[in-house]
Structure 1
Amino acid sequence: MSSYTIRSMTTEDQDEVTSLIYHSTNAWYQSHARPPIFTGDVSVASVFCDVYQALDPGCCVLAQCDETGAIAGSCFYHPRPSHMSLGIMNVHPNHFGGGVARKLLDFVIAVAEKEDQPVRLVSSAVNLDSFSLYNRAGFVPRMTFQDMYLEVPPEGIQRGIPPQRLDRVRQAAREDLDAIVALEEELHHIRRPDDYRHFLENQSGLWHMSVIENDTGSIDGFLASVFHPGSNMLGPGAMRTEEDAAALIYFELQHHAGRTPVWLVPVEANQLVQQLYSWGARNCELHFSQVRGDWKKPQGIVMPTFMPETS
């Protein structure tokens, strides 16, 4: 059994961590007869290091093999005012079964406990190894989401009927930040203002964000999205109703014409799911929202994402 040193990631580690994310993620999916998540050059996975270092510099913990010096595992984590979020975790296939993931998880839990914060994550319902890891550590599945995707034609969505309230959707502006943060706190009971400031400022050019207004000019929902060769997703988002969610998803999908974005919606939002099917959306996986510690049931529609995993 190998031994490991747990330490923080440095700038010099980023290329090796990028390679770890790329190869370990693809290895797991391919070993379960599924297509690889990442295609093209290894550098496409650099988006995780780039975005997470911009949002949370220094918040990536590594497990370094004492015998070889190689990085055996990595885990990003995201301290927020209301909670700690566990981000993407990867273990090199050569070190599967060596307890690396549990060492990384224990580190993040210890950081959260020191701050008296709950820990939140979104994990695959297909990967029973990761489910068991989190479940044994005290995480409780709270919500189930279906991962959906749509090959959006270059000319935009052609199938089905456009949603109601689409005329209420517009691109978000920096002036919407306080309203976005307040709405998520009301509906989702968490706070992460720096995330939304990062999206709205969009210095990297990766992000797009929209809001839906009501008759008073207040917002009833918001939805962000990211486009990068390593991640093309809708989310995060929060909306008061399924109708609001449908309008925002449609608007963001049109922004991704010619691409194939993925997004997560609550399985119980059947009216919304059926409308997404009518546009040609399909399912590709299921995920659980899990929480270790205090949790309050969200209202409305919540749409988590893997870029960034801060909810």
Structure 2
Amino acid sequence: MSSYTIQSMTTEQQHEVTSLIYHSTNAWYQSHARPPIFTGDVSVASVFCEVYEAIDPGCCVVARCDESGVIAGSCFYHPRPTHVSLGIMNVHPDHFGGGVARKLLQAVIDLAEKVNKPVRLVSSALNLDSFSLYSRAGFVPRATYQDMYLEVPESGIQRGTPPARLDCVREATAGDLEAIVALEEKLHHIRRPDDYRHFLENKSGLWHVSVIVNSSGELDGVLASVFHPGSNMLGPGAMRTEEDAAALIYSELQHHAGRSPVWLVPVEASELVQQLYGWGARNCELHFSQVRGEWTKPEGIVMPTFMPETS
């Protein structure tokens, strides 16, 4: 049995972590008779290091194999005012079953306990090994989401009926930051101003953010989206109602004409899900929100994402 040293990722190790994310993720899906998540060159997975480091520099732990010196596993995490979020975690296929994921998870839990904050994550319902890992560590499933995707035609969505309130959706600006953070705190009881600041500043050119506004000028919802060869998703999002969510999703999908973005919606949002089917959306996976520690049931619609991750 190999031994491992847990340490913070260095700048020099980012390329090796990028390769780890690419190969370990694809290996897991292919071993379960599913197509690889990443296609093309390994560099497409660099978006994870780039985004996570831009928002939370130095917040990645790696497991270095003491015998070979290679990085056997990595895990990003995000310290936020209300909680610590567990980001993408990967273990090299050669080190599956060696306890690497457990060591990485415990390192993040220890960091959270030092500041007395809960830990939140989003995990695939297909990966029972991960589900068991988190459950054994005290994480409790709190919500289920269905992953949906749509091949948006170059000319935009052609099927179904456009949602109501589309005329209330507009592109977000830097001046919306305070209201966005306040809305998510009111609905979902979490705060992450640095995330939304990163989206709105959009120095990388990867992000787009829309908001929906009511007749009083108050925000009823927000939805971000990312486009990169390694990640094309809608989210995160926070909305008061399913109607607000439908308008924002439709608007962001139109922004991704010619692409096939993925997004997560609560399984209990039945009217919203039916509307998405009407536009041609399909299911591709299920995910769980899991929380270790204090949790308050959210209001409205939660749309988590994988980067930067928060349930």
TM-score normalized by the length of structure 2: 1.00
Q: For this pair of structures, how many residues does the alignment match? A: 311
Q: Does 1:147 align with 2:147?
A: yes
Alignment pair present for 1:178 and 2:172: no
Give the CA deviation at 1:273. Answer: 0.1
Aligned residue in 2 for 1:274: 274
2:109 touches 2:119 (CA, 8 Å); kept in 1?
Answer: yes
Per-residue deviation, residues 163-183 of structure 1 (Å, max 9, x unmatched): 000110000011100100000
How far apart are 1:209 and its partner, in Å? Answer: 0.2
Distance in 1 of aligned mates of 2:310 and 2:57: 14
CA offset digits 1:85-137 (Å, max 9, x no partner): 00000000000000000000000000000000000000001100000000000
Paired amino acid for 2:224? A
**What are the ranges of 5 or more consecutive residues in structure 2 without an aligned counterpart?**
none
Structure 1 gaps of 5+ residues are none
**2: CA distance between counterparts of 1:223 and 1:284?**
21
Are the aligned partners of 2:223 and 2:237 in contact in 1 as well (CA < 8 Å)?
yes
Aligned residue identity for 1:86: L
Mapped contact 2:86–2:119 kept (Cα < 8 A): yes
1:105 aligns with 2:118: no
> Which residue does the alignment assign to 1:96?
96
Whole-Å separation in 2 of the counterparts to 1:200 and 1:301: 21
Tell me the distance in 1 between the aligned counterparts of 2:195 and 2:14: 21
Aligned 1:239-250 pairs, distance under 5 A: 239-250=239-250
Match of 1:307 in 2: 307
Tell me which residue corresponds to 1:8: 8
**Corresponding position of 1:203:** 203
User: 2:17 aligns to what?
Assistant: 17
Q: Secondary structure at the match of 1:163?
A: coil
- What is the match of residue 286 of structure 2? 286
C-alpha deviation, 1:310, in angstroms: 3.7
2:8 and 2:174 map into 1 onto residues whose CA distance is: 33
Counterparts of 1:146 and 1:60, CA distance in 2: 28
- Rounded Cα–Cα distance in structure 1 between residues aligned with 2:129 and 2:102: 11
User: What is the letter of the counterpart of residue 168 of structure 2?
Assistant: R
Q: What's the % identity of the aligned pairs? A: 84
Deviations 1:249-301 (A, max 9, x none): 00000000000000000000000000000000000000000000000000000
CA contact (8 A) 2:122 2:310 kept: no
What is the identity, as a one-letter code, of the residue corresponding to 2:178?
Answer: D
Q: Partner amino acid for 2:17?
A: V
Tell me the C-alpha RMSD between the 2 structures. Answer: 0.5
TM-score by length of 1: 1.00
- How much has 1:302 moved relative to structure 2? 0.4
Give distance in 2, aligned partners of 1:72 and 1:108. Answer: 17
Q: How far apart in 1 are the matches of 2:233 and 2:190?
A: 21
SS of 2:90 mapped into structure 1: strand
Tell whether 2:150 aligns with 1:163: no
Instruction: Name 1:262's counterpart in structure 2.
Output: 262
Q: Give 1:308 deviation, angstroms.
A: 1.2
Q: What secondary structure, in the 3-state scheme, does the structure 2 residue paired with 1:209 have?
A: strand
Amino acid at match of 2:232: N
CA separation in 1, counterparts of 2:215 and 2:68? 62
Secondary structure (helix, strand or coil) at the match of 2:89 reads: strand
Q: Which residue of 2 aligns with 1:75?
A: 75
Alignment partners' CA distance in 1, 2:75 and 2:58: 11
| 1:225 alignment counterpart | 225
Distance 2:310 2:204 in 1: 18
